[in-house]
Amino acid sequence: MTNDVPAQPSSDRRSTVALHATCMLHQGPAGFANLVVRKLNGVIEFDPHVTGSCVIRLDEAVARQLLEVLGKWLG
């Protein structure tokens, strides 16, 4: 889904978004899980399930690589 919803109050709402996603491990319905994505001090952080228990961090160089790959896949 493409709905971007601020995940939490922030002075810059563009730095944190919640994306509707699907958790393949827990087999919930499509769009049931939330994936919080935010930028903190030049680091892009992915927080599946909004729990902070398994956070994935990408520095800006790697985030740009991801952007390039996604751009190719999405056309």
User: 1-55: per-residue pLDDT in tens?
Assistant: 344 444 444 445 568 999 988 888 877 777 778 899 999 888 999 998 888 888 9
Q: For the chain, how many structural domains are there in total?
A: 1
Q: What is the extent of the structural domain holding 27?
A: 4-74
Contacts of 20 (CB under 8 A, 6+ apart): 1, 3, 31, 32, 33, 34, 35
Distance CA 29, CA 52 (A): 22
More confident residue, 22 or 73: 73
* Token pair 């939330």 in the structure block, residue: 34
Alpha helix (H) ranges present in 1-75? 60-74
Going by C-alpha positions, the residue among 44, 49, 4 that lies closest to residue 22 is 49
